[in-house]
């Protein structure tokens, strides 16, 4: 907690919000984290490390419902979001979907040709919303 007590005022002094993460394992702390959050809340969709997932099996809706009971700060879901359908499903129960690993994979896969592929991918994700 010392880290947060020191960093949050420092960040605010420079106009930067500390982005809180709420994971499926945060059950007893969701309300407290949500009440203290600024900017937006990053809802972690899955246990484990970030990366593409074939499906999201966590009850993200319950996490988001608890967050919404405790704050009006927007929340977006990340970790494992890699298809337009997943983005649609997560944005339907939250304020957005966060995608990272698939974009990095496309960059690695296509190198100098990646911008066109990444652009098409991002467009497909946006269209799904």
Q: pLDDT of 54-109, one tens digit each?
A: 566 577 888 999 999 999 999 999 888 889 999 999 899 999 999 988 999 999 99
- The token duo for 122 is 């991002």
- 67, 57, 82: which is closest to 27 by C-alpha? 67
Q: Is 113 contained in some domain?
A: no
In the prediction, which pLDDT does 11 show?
84
pTM over 0.85: no
Range of the domain at 60: 1-98
Q: What's the rounded Cα separation, in Å, for the pair 89 and 81?
A: 10
Q: Could you tell me the CATH number of the domain that includes residue 68?
A: 3.20.20.70
Question: Which range, of 1-15, 75-89, 114-128, averages the lowest pLDDT?
Answer: 1-15
Range with lowest mean pLDDT among 23-27, 41-45, 111-115: 23-27
Please indicate, yes or no, if residue 127 is contained in any of the structural domains: no
Report yes or no on 50 lying in a domain. Answer: yes
For residues 105 and 126, give the distance between their C-alpha atoms in angstroms, rounded to a whole number. Answer: 18
Q: Determine, yes or no, domain membership for 72.
A: yes
| Residue 77 belongs to some domain of the structure | yes
End-to-end CA distance of the chain: 37
Q: Residue 2: is its pLDDT beyond 80?
A: no
Q: How many domains does the chain have?
A: 1
Domain presence at residue 93 = yes
Report, as an integer, the average pLDDT of 39-62: 71
Positions of E strands within 1-129: 20-22, 41-44, 75-78
What tokens does 26 get? Answer: 């945060």
Instruction: Please report whether residue 16 resides in a domain.
Output: yes
Residue 32 placed within a domain: yes
């Amino acid at each position: 907690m010392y880290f947060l007590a020191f960093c949050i005022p420092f960040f605010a002094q420079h106009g930067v919000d500390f982005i809180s993460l709420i994971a499926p394992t945060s059950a007893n702390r969701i309300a407290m984290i949500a009440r203290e959050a600024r900017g937006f809340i990053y809802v972690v969709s899955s246990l484990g490390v970030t990366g593409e997932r074939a499906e999201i099996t966590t009850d993200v809706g319950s996490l988001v419902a608890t967050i919404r009971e405790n704050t009006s700060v927007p929340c977006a879901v990340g970790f494992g979001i890699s298809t337009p359908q997943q983005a649609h499903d997560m944005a339907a129960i939250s304020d957005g979907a966060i995608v990272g690993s698939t974009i990095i994979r496309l960059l690695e896969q296509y190198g100098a040709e990646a911008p066109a592929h990444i652009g098409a991918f991002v467009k497909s994700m946006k269209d799904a919303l």
